[in-house]
Amino acid sequence: MISKLLIINNIAWRNKMKTKIISLILISFLSLSLFATLQIQSTQAILPLEEVFSLKEYKLRSSYNPQYTFSKSGNNLRMYSTKDSLGCAYAYIHMNKNDLNGNKLRITWRWYLDYSNTQYTLGELYVVNNLHNRKLDNAEFRTAADVEHPIADYTNILACSLTETCNGGWITTRTNTSPVLNLNGWDSYVTVIIKSVDPWIANTVELEVSSLQILDSNNNVLKTYNFNGKIWMETTGTTTDYGQIRDPTSTLYGTEHYPEEWKYYGLDFVYNEFYLSQQVSSSVTSLFAGTSKYSALSNSFGTNTNNAVVHYYV
């Protein structure tokens, strides 16, 4: 009888301890999950995607097609147009107007043209009073009447231009600085556009951009934008190709837009996708980007890895 009681008590004690252990594990897991969630949400709340450059091919003339490709040379961005192409290509980024108003822009760049002894302007830097969306081919990127609608349809400033006499190859790298920008009366957020133009179908054109900087009125560097990320093309093989240059994202859907743009896109509630957890993204990059199995990460724009798909969503 005593033996049976001892066995029953032992079983009851073990069940009680098992329940406590499970409870402790569950509490620990929930605490860690909550902590991680709070950390991610905190990071997301202070890191808008202002580091993201959108890439866009633009059909300028109704009678001619562009044939642009986007690539990297080291940490430089290149926009290349074939001999049979005529049109434009843009690399653009959204910026807070207050970061630019009363300041300057400085850009380091060069261009290639397989022609000689003629002066051309094949690179331009604009500030445009609109939040461009690379997917809107029937709006800001529409083709009509041979007008460059992404720029001409909006209040804009030509901040810098790259005009040189071509020599049959690459011109010397130049650094151009804009005058002080006056954006008084503009919207809260603007689009800064780096433009490559191919003006004739008989020549090959390429624009290479090394960096874009914001300077104060005394030429002190306030911010430097480099092109260290990977190129993710969402659409290719058309006359309106588009994509982005950025590190792999940990958000549910890739976008460079700010919460202030909700109404612009008909949204009326908060999407966490508007923010990037840079810490998580950098961690994922370091884990996979250098391996042979995952030469590139899956991202929100439909670009997959060569050998497998890596989904890393927060």
Q: Label residue 105 exposed, middle or buried (CB < 10 Å: 0-12, 13-18, 19+).
A: buried
81 shares its domain with 228? yes
**Number of separate domains in the chain:** 3
- Asked whether the beta carbons of 194 and 178 are under 8 A apart, the reply is no
Contacts of 283 (CB under 8 A, 6+ apart): none
148 shares its domain with 232? yes
For residue 163, the SS3 value is: strand
pLDDT at 232: 86
Note the pLDDT tens digit of each residue in 78-114.
999 988 889 999 999 999 999 999 999 999 999 999 9
Q: Compute the residue count for the chain.
A: 314
How far does CA 100 lie from the centroid of its chain?
19
Can you give the CATH number for the domain in which 74 is found? 2.60.120
Q: Looking at the predicted structure, is the pLDDT value of residue 235 above 70?
A: yes
Percent of the chain predicted with pLDDT > 90:
44
- Asked whether the beta carbons of 160 and 211 are under 8 A apart, the reply is no
285 shares its domain with 308? yes
127 shares its domain with 146? yes
198, 229, 246 — which closes off a domain? Answer: 246
- Asked whether the beta carbons of 106 and 113 are under 8 A apart, the reply is no
DSSP 251: S
What is the bridge-based pairing of β-strands 242-246 and 205-215?
Answer: unpaired
Confidence band of 286 (pLDDT split at 50, 70, 90): low
pLDDT at 16: 58
Q: What is the mean pLDDT of residues 278-289?
A: 53
246, 281, 297 — which closes off a domain? Answer: 246
222, 246, 270 — which closes off a domain? Answer: 246
142 shares its domain with 165? yes
Helix ranges (DSSP H) in 47-143: 97-100
How far does CA 18 lie from the centroid of its chain?
50
181 shares its domain with 208? yes
Distances in whole angstroms, Cα of residue 140 to Cα of each of 42, 132, 266: 34, 7, 17
DSSP 248: P
Question: If you average pLDDT over each of 111-115, 176-180, 234-238, 282-286, which comes out highest?
Answer: 176-180
178 shares its domain with 221? yes
How far the first Cα of the chain sits from its last, in Å, is: 58
pLDDT at 284: 55
Confidence band of 307 (pLDDT split at 50, 70, 90): very low
Residue 131 CA to residue 191 CA, distance in Å, equals: 6
Q: Looking at the predicted structure, is the pLDDT value of residue 292 above 50?
A: no
pLDDT at 51: 62
Residue 288 CA to residue 25 CA, distance in Å, equals: 30
Measure the CA angle with vertex 45, ends 27 and 140; round to 5°: 140
Mean pLDDT across the chain: 74
β-sheet bridge partners, residue 104: 215
Q: Label residue 57 exposed, middle or buried (CB < 10 Å: 0-12, 13-18, 19+).
A: buried
Note the pLDDT tens digit of each residue in 13-55.
555 555 555 555 444 544 444 444 433 333 332 233 446 899 9
Question: Which single residue is written with the structure tokens 């433009």?
Answer: 195
Question: Which single residue is written with the structure tokens 């609608």?
Answer: 149
192 shares its domain with 86? yes
Question: If you average pLDDT over each of 172-186, 217-231, 277-291, which comes out highest?
Answer: 172-186
For residue 39, the enclosing domain spans 1-46
Q: What is the mean pLDDT of residues 218-235?
A: 90
21 shares its domain with 77? no
pLDDT at 34: 43
- Asked whether the beta carbons of 298 and 254 are under 8 A apart, the reply is no
Contacts of 290 (CB under 8 A, 6+ apart): none
Q: Looking at the predicted structure, is the pLDDT value of residue 305 above 50?
A: no
Contacts of 144 (CB under 8 A, 6+ apart): 62
Q: What is the mean pLDDT of residues 280-295?
A: 51
Confidence band of 62 (pLDDT split at 50, 70, 90): confident
Helix (H) or strand (E) holding 2: helix 2-46
Choose between 269 and 182: higher pLDDT: 182
7 shares its domain with 100? no
- Asked whether the beta carbons of 120 and 164 are under 8 A apart, the reply is yes
81 shares its domain with 219? yes
pLDDT at 200: 84
19 shares its domain with 143? no
